[in-house]
Amino acid sequence: MKQKLLVTTILVTGIVLVVNFLSNEIHLRLDFTDDRQFTLSQATRNILNNLEEPVTIKAYFSKDLPANIEKTKQDFQDMLIEYANRSNGMIGYEFINPNESEETEKQATQNGIQPVMINVREKDQVKQQKAFLGATIAIGDKNEVIPFIQPGAAMEYALSTGIKKLSVTSKPVIGFVQGNGEPALEEMSQMAEQLRVLYDLRAVKLDSASPSADIRTLVVIRPTDSVPAAQLSKMDEFLARGGNMLVAINRVQGNLQQAVGMPVNTGMESWLQQKGILVQDAFVVDAKCGAVTVQQQQGYFSLQTQIQFPYLPSIGRFANHPIAKGLESAFLEFASPVNFVGDTSKRFVALAFTSEQSGIQKAPLYFDINKRWTEADLPMKGIPVAGLVQGKLGGNTDSRLVVIGDGDLVYNGPPQQGRRQSPDNINLVVNSIDWLSDDTGLIELRTKGVTSRPIKQLEDTTKSLVKYGNFLLPIILVIGYGLVRVQRNKMIRLRRMSENYEEN
């Protein structure tokens, strides 16, 4: 019996080792991730099938990396193998270790890949090691650089957009309306950097002419001056010919120095209401929010304290739509509700929502920084702050319009004193423009790599059950197993004694 058990254990162990070895050698893997992170999308397959010139990918990865970073290298290699297999021989790749010599290191840096410093533990000591984690993509004499392949990042998006950027002959044009106080493109640098991969960006002034025929999508972000009726009419003309638009506006503004919140009227709100979208002149407040720094006096000392401020909602609920898929946390600043007031000839989809504890406060109002917010102050849930409408919005041709109730979500400010916005703020707008402008499906790849997956908050009772369950369950299982073994051995002894008694 024992010999049979030993043989079975050895066979099972051997089979597992062989399967692991073979799967590593032929790069076989099954994808059980919820967003199919390791399965090539249809968008990537289309790009690979339409390649007309060979693509060469050089991956610059250092050797002897820590295990978590070594996994990134393995994942990238597996993905390159899949790209090569799917491209009918049009994709070639090689891995280069820049740390082998000064020449290869110089080659990597000249190609735009800079080393990063990582912590490595050796013999109970932590030391820093210079490592390269990047790649270059080349088609003919054109090159694109992926300077840093971050663990957990959307590798497929970086590869596919890089290949498409080099393979397309002409990019779609995105027009940004200017002249009514809207920020310039250089004041929205994060968004512009992502969009320029696949699009040409153009400033458009509607006071002189209508949008040109080559503009795929028209974008209006945070106008601060009144938008003349003549410009609104030109937007109608653009929609009437089948053009698509994105509008992100401020219906309210807050002044923390004076502690007041006021409504904003530019004419865009009335124009949007004609299309079936009402952006209320009210503040969204949310228990899940950002903080402001306030100065508090304690005796002779003045202290700066961070206080939660519900007028800065942190949006963590998104619709199951290509624009919002994969988004996890957008931080808005004095946002307003976005509601549908159109008829049944138009289709509306809400894209982003407040949390389970939220509310709406009509402007104008005064901010009470020190207010203690209760559940009674936040009685609502799932208030839409972004949405889209599609249908006949300006004529007899169907068009699409995305509206966001915050015009500052992608505003970085002047280049010399710019501020960084949350990545999902940028993704929400760029995804929207992708959905309005690009039909390749690359939109679904940008947020395919998980960047932030917060642990779900549990109630105290549930936490206690989990805590003591984790502690007691193994002990109970061991004791239970022991009791079963004792009872089993006892039954065996009794049976043997009974057999001996009957023989006698």
pLDDT digits (tens, 9 = 90+) for 371-415: 899 999 999 999 999 999 999 998 889 999 999 999 999 999 998
Helix (H, G, I), strand (E, B) or coil at 484: helix
Cα(62)–Cα(76) distance, integer angstroms: 13
pLDDT by residue for the chain (504 residues), tens only, comes to: 556 556 566 766 766 566 565 555 554 555 545 555 567 888 888 889 889 899 999 999 988 888 878 888 888 998 899 999 988 889 999 999 998 888 999 999 999 998 888 877 766 677 777 889 999 999 999 899 999 887 666 788 889 888 988 888 788 999 999 999 999 999 999 999 989 988 999 999 998 888 999 999 999 999 999 999 999 999 999 999 999 999 999 999 999 889 999 999 999 999 999 999 999 999 999 999 999 887 766 666 667 788 899 999 999 999 999 899 889 999 999 999 999 999 999 999 999 999 999 999 999 999 998 889 999 999 999 999 999 999 999 888 999 999 999 999 999 999 888 899 999 999 999 999 999 997 666 666 666 654 444 444 555 566 677 767 776 777 888 787 778 777 887 787 777 776 665 555
Name residue 118's amino acid.
Answer: I
What does the pLDDT read at residue 285? Answer: 97
pLDDT at 58: 94
* Distance between first and last Cα of the chain: 28
For the stretch 200-244, pLDDT in tens is 999 999 988 889 999 999 999 999 999 999 999 999 999 999 999
Cβ atoms 356, 243 nearer than 8 A: no
Q: Within 10 A of 120 (CB to CB), how many other CB atoms are there? A: 15
Residue 441 confidence (pLDDT): 64
pLDDT of res. 455: 46
Question: How far apart, in whole angstroms, are the C-alpha atoms of residue 261 and residue 282?
Answer: 9
Residue reference for tokens 């079975």: 8
Residue type (1 letter), 471: F
Widest CA span in the chain: 116
- On whether the CB atoms of residues 281 and 252 are closer than 8 A, the answer is yes
Please say whether the beta carbons of 208 and 179 come within 8 A. no
pLDDT of residue 450: 46
User: Are 181 and 223 within 8 A, CB to CB?
Assistant: yes
The CA-CA-CA angle for residues 100, 102, 107, to 5°, reads: 95
**Domains, in order of start, for the chain:** 28-166 (3.40.30.10), 170-445 (3.40.50.880)
**Distance separating alpha carbons of residues 152 and 146, to the nearest angstrom:** 15
